[in-house]
Amino acid sequence: MKNNGPEHASLLDDAPTRERVATTILENGPSTAADLALQLSLTPAAVRRHLDQLLADGVLEARDQRITGQRGRGRPAKVFVITDAGRDHFEHAYDELAAGALRFLAATGGDDAVMAFARHRLADLEDRYRPLLAMADPSDRPRVLAEALTRDGFAASVGSVPHGAQMCQHHCPVAHVAVEFPHLCEAEAEMFARLLGTHVQRLATIAHGDGVCTTHLPIIERDPSPTAERLPS
């Protein structure tokens, strides 16, 4: 049954401000109620009301503030941090924003423009990974690549299979957007091929409903260095 009383209406009216409170914590890290009141130009009472609701919704959790140096008198202030559930909420919101931007890009510039963007967003990763792979033995490069991806949040692992290696990525930060724009997956596979100096074959993707993104990395018969140049972005 819907609650159409004054309390329900008040919660709806407060929603934009509550979103600002949560967004501020997401962007600036653990924050005290006093910090938030100052940053958002709200009264301490108003901030605490929003914090209480966000705690009840599971978006935030409260922790004891870490004190560096000499501790003053009294109990340390509580700091508020985003929970995993709260991050999921924001990720979905950003997904829709990204998808909307790519739809506009596709409508105004076509598939070539979307592909150029997909390649461009990976440029920093490729530049950082290339020296790591260049220093590794060719047979060890799949493992080095998987470890680098894991450090950037892709939860990647690699194992031996007949005629090569198979890399699995258990997390994809753009999976929801890649459902509509597989250009993102294609650009990533291109990057892997350049870094490993060989062709690769994408076998499965989270974006297409598979449990993990799986890529076959063939045995490298020679000793190539990772390709120095990216495709035009």
227 belongs to a structural domain: no
Same domain, yes or no: 98 and 55: no
Distance CA 88, CA 92 (A): 6
Mean pLDDT in the chain?
Answer: 84
For residue 42, the one-letter residue type is L
Residue 51's contacts (CB-CB under 8 Å, 6 or more residues apart) are 21, 33, 36, 60, 80
**pLDDT given for residue 3 in this prediction:** 45
Same domain, yes or no: 95 and 203: yes
Q: Which of 124-138, 186-200, 203-217 shows the lowest mean pLDDT across its residues?
A: 203-217
**pLDDT given for residue 52 in this prediction:** 94
How many CB atoms are closer than 10 A to CB 215? Answer: 27
200 belongs to a structural domain: yes
**pLDDT band, very low/low/confident/very high, at 19 (cuts 50, 70, 90):** confident
- Domain extent, residue 180, equals 89-218
Same domain, yes or no: 203 and 165: yes
- Write the pLDDT tens digit of every residue in 60-115: 999 887 654 555 555 667 899 888 788 777 767 778 889 999 999 999 999 999 99
96 belongs to a structural domain: yes
1 belongs to a structural domain: no
pTM for this predicted structure: 0.61
Residue 193's contacts (CB-CB under 8 Å, 6 or more residues apart) are 199, 200
**pLDDT given for residue 170 in this prediction:** 84
**pLDDT given for residue 206 in this prediction:** 86
Mean pLDDT of the region 25-52: 90
Distance CA 226, CA 193 (A): 9
- Write the pLDDT tens digit of every residue in 110-145: 999 999 999 999 999 999 999 999 999 988 999 999
Question: What CATH code is carried by the domain that includes residue 10?
Answer: 1.10.10.10
Mean pLDDT of the region 197-210: 90
Mean pLDDT of the region 188-213: 92
71 belongs to a structural domain: no
Residue 199's contacts (CB-CB under 8 Å, 6 or more residues apart) are 193, 218
**pLDDT given for residue 32 in this prediction:** 93
b/e for 105-132, b at 16 or more Cβ within 10 A?
bbeeeeeebbbbbbbeebeebbeebbee
- The listed range with the strongest mean pLDDT (65-74, 124-133, 212-221, 224-233) is 124-133
Same domain, yes or no: 61 and 93: no
Same domain, yes or no: 206 and 159: yes
130 belongs to a structural domain: yes
**Domain limit, last residue, from 82, 107, 126:** 82
**Whether residue 53 has pLDDT greater than 90:** yes
154 belongs to a structural domain: yes
Residue 65's contacts (CB-CB under 8 Å, 6 or more residues apart) are 30, 32, 76, 77, 78, 79
